[in-house]
A and B are shown apart, each in its own frame.
Chain A
Amino acid sequence: MKRAGRVTALHLALAAVAVATLLPLLWMLSASLMPAGEASAWPPRFLPSRATLTNYVALFQRLNLGRCFLNSAFVAVTTTALCLLVTSLAGYAFAKLRFAGRKRIFGALLTAMVIPTQVAMLPLFLLMRSLGLVNTYWGVIIPGVAPVFGIFMVRQYALSLPDDLLDAARVDGASEFRIYRSIVLPLLRPILVTLGVFTFMGAWNDFMWPLIVLTDETRYTLPVALANLLGEHAQDMELMMAGSVLTVLPVLVLFLALQRSYVEGIAMGGVKE
């Protein structure tokens, strides 16, 4: 009897936290489907009187957020692809290829991780300006292409690749690039999926740097467009909620599809320390 009570109490607590966690997200979805003005009506209502897609239509037709969606997609996909290429090459080389200064360079990179990225932002903006990359997608993408933690993740994983396999390929006369492409890359797949999900979400959700670099509304990524929209449409609660759904939905779906590798990545970073 006492045990049954404890089990019930535990599940009540679990459910209470789940409700508190989901409520803001469910309300966002519900309010996004309400006709204009209903989310701020009195008495307040949680569900729409009749679900409508008007707000979403307005986002795409009137406010051109479809364009921003594509901007976000392009920035996130390109950042991820380039990041995986650059970090897989570097991480593998730091783990398996012997060259002069390997240990010292890698150590220096790890030390550099202490420095918060905001410290670099003001001069980085001036640099981007002199390169003509302000208000371009590349200005957003390039600084995120070689994250040190990504190189670190790939290296730790690549350390476990069997040396004999690589040496056998060398004896067979395969070039180093060929070995990377045909042997190493397929073996690194699990860690690259994890890193890819991290990078994509990071790039999709990023706000501060795109806010600084992008000045033209047609180039805004979704988070920047959303913050900008809030300035003019703060009263249109239902419209803002639709914009939030549009921004959140792709990453949420990606997470649900690939949550195993995402969660494993976090646990790995946390436990390794």
Chain B
Amino acid sequence: MSGGRRTAPGRRRREARAGLAFVAPALALIAVFFVVPVLAGFALAATDFDIYGIGDPGTVRFVGLANFTALLHDPVFWRALLNTLYFVAVGGPLSVAASLAAALLVNSRMARFKGVFRTVYFAPVVTTLVAVAVVWRYLYHPRFGFANQILGLVGIPPVNWLGDPHWAMPAIILMAVWKNFGYNMIIFVAGLQAIPVSTYEAARVDGASAWQQFRHITLPALRPMLVFVGVITMIGAFQFFTEPYVMTGGTGGPLNATLSLVMYMYKQGFRWWNMGFGAAVAFVLFLIILAGTLLQLRLRREHE
């Protein structure tokens, strides 16, 4: 064989050809089943595509921003947007706080059976959301649900959890926190284990209390993870759909109190076949999530 190992032009060409061939299936799938639909979605939002459009695409007309104008005047859309913001603004921080607390508990130096507790806390994460939402629907049953029985033990009158517009969203948030806190807990535990034990020991020698150690050592060390976890939790929360779908029988009720943006898109697009209008709702969701992601990048850059 002549020529150096890395300079043989035939070999380089073969490697380049193989590289393209190896990425081709993935790229083709992503292009056809993701990129094209996303672009088509933007176009769809500017049309009046509806049930007639499915039968005969010839009836579809370009309507410009008419769907977005209609959206702005649609009280149900605003309801869905506010519900979604409620879920994100209350459920997000609650979920991150629960994850952090659980991580501090299972990672405590004095704790025993750490592995068992960690596995138990994580179990809800892997469960099927539809199935556990069914379970929680019964836990929230106004007459024989466990939620009201626990309240009854301390003398609080029963609450119509999923039937009362004021309580339906808190009930769903509580269930979502239960389902998800284990995921972020794992990320926090990894972060906590990266803090050298000697830092805490030095602080204790200096007489720092447990709270001071948490405030001045743990929290600053976890800051990058808090930003990351905060944003992925927020982005995930903006897309909630299954919880209200299962727990309110596909309505988003009572009185649209749990209707989320994605659910509204689903109802408009797939139940009433107002696909142009539904695509406009999806576009709003896209803008919100894009803003969230840019915020994350900004925060991370500031940190670095």
Contacts and interface: CB of A to CB of B under 8 A. Distances in A.
For chain B, the bracket of interface size reads 35 or more
B290 A247 contact: no
A256 B119 contact: yes
A151 B136 CA distance: 35
Contacts of B128: 204-205, 222-223, 244, 247-248, 251
A223 B130 contact: yes
Secondary structure dominating the interface of B: helix
A44 B31 CA distance: 54
A121 interface: yes
B282 A142 contact: no
Nearest to B145: A44
A1 interface: no
Interface in A92-118: 92-94, 97-100, 102, 105, 109, 112, 114-118
A127 B37 contact: yes
B273 to A, nearest CB: 10
A58 interface: no
A126 B17 CA distance: 34
B266 A14 contact: no
B301 interface: no
Contacts of A114: 289-290, 293
A76 to B, nearest CB: 11
Contact of B249 (A39, A117, A231): A231
A123 B265 contact: no
Interface stretch (B69-77, B83-91, B100-108, B165-173): B100-108
Contacts of B178: 20-21, 24
Nearest to B13: A99
Secondary structure dominating the interface of A: helix
Interface in A37-52: 39-42, 44
15 contacts: A23-B146, A25-B124, A44-B149, A93-B20, A97-B18, A116-B239, A125-B269, A171-B5, A223-B129, A252-B123, A255-B123, A270-B186, A270-B187, A270-B191, A271-B191
6 smallest CB-CB distances across A and B, nearest first, come from A176-B18, A97-B19, A270-B187, A99-B19, A93-B22, A123-B40
Interface of A: 6-7, 10-11, 13-14, 17-18, 20-25, 27-28, 31, 39-42, 44, 85-87, 89-90, 92-94, 97-100, 102, 105, 109, 112, 114-127, 129, 142-143, 145-146, 148, 151, 167, 170-171, 176-177, 180, 201, 204-205, 207-208, 212, 222-224, 226-227, 230-231, 234, 237, 240-241, 243-245, 247-248, 251-252, 254-256, 259, 262-263, 266-267, 269-271, 273
